[in-house]
């Protein structure tokens, strides 16, 4: 009678170590995906929304059960501002000492490359197209300095809402800046 139980007790599946292997807590990873053009706002079909990705990154950082964050990117890039917002939240996640692993899909170019750069580790497929062309834009406004330093003043005559958009005499208006940013 006892020998039946002694055989069972010697079975490795009934040992405390085997039981712990079955019931122990498993590591939890947050998987955040971004497929498509990077843009401000929320993700949609074919777009990576900065608000959506940043919200997911912040939630993963706050969740004590999450041990690491996996960010899967497949993007040709997009908005510089939206890419910078995601980049910043990847940096914040790294500062909390949670590993951020980026998995690049078929493409992680421009903004897709930029948001990947601060990751703990970057994994790319053999055929992944990645890199950055470094789009930067702006203008130098010299009108106020010319007037102040050498007394050169100006008069602007323009027809149309954005006729003076590229003028080095006047700064961007709020609408002009939005339009210019969208053209990058």
Higher pLDDT, 141 or 138: 141
Q: What topology does CATH give the domain 20-131?
A: 2-enoyl-CoA Hydratase; Chain A, domain 1 (3.90.226)
Mark whether 110 is an active-site residue: yes
What was the pLDDT predicted at 130? 94
Q: Could you state, in order of their start, the residue ranges of all structural domains in the chain?
A: 20-131, 143-183
Query: Which residues are CB-neighbours of 55 under 8 A, at least 6 positions away?
Result: none
pTM score > 0.85 for this model? no
| Nearest alpha-carbon partner for 24 in 14, 34, 32, 16 | 16
| Nearest alpha-carbon partner for 95 in 69, 65, 71 | 69
Q: Are 101 and 68 in contact, with CB atoms under 8 Å apart?
A: yes
pLDDT digits (tens, 9 = 90+) for 144-171: 888 888 988 888 788 888 888 888 888 8
- DSSP 8-state secondary structure symbol assigned to residue 172: P
pLDDT band at 184 (very low <50, low <70, confident <90, very high): low
pLDDT above 90 coverage of the chain, percent: 55
CA gap 34, 28 in Å, rounded? 20
What was the pLDDT predicted at 11? 61
Collect contacts of 23-28 with beta carbons under 8 A, ≥24 apart.
27/67, 27/68, 28/65, 28/66, 28/67
Q: Are 32 and 71 in contact, with CB atoms under 8 Å apart?
A: yes
CA gap 43, 34 in Å, rounded? 8
pLDDT above 70 coverage of the chain, percent: 85
Q: Which of 47, 79, 103, 110 is flagged as catalytic?
A: 110
User: Mean pLDDT across the chain, nearest whole number?
Assistant: 87
């Amino acid at each position: 009678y006892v020998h039946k139980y002694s055989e069972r007790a010697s079975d490795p599946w009934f040992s405390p170590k085997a039981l712990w292997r079955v019931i122990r807590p498993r590591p939890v990873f947050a998987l955040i995906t971004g497929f498509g053009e990077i843009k401000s706002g929320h993700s949609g079909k074919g777009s990576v929304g900065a608000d959506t990705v940043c919200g997911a990154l912040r939630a993963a950082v706050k969740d004590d059960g999450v041990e690491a964050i996996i960010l899967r990117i497949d993007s040709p890039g997009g908005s510089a501002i939206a890419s910078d917002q995601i980049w910043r939240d990847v940096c914040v996640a790294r500062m909390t000492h949670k590993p951020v692993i980026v998995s690049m899909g078929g493409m992680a170019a421009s903004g897709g490359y930029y948001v990947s750069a601060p990751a703990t580790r970057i994994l790319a497929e053999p055929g992944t197209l990645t890199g950055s062309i470094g789009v930067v834009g702006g203008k130098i406004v010299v009108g106020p300095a010319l007037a102040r330093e050498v007394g050169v003043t100006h008069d602007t005559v323009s027809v149309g809402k954005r006729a003076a958009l590229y003028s080095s005499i006047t700064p961007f208006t709020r609408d002009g800046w939005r339009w210019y940013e969208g053209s990058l």
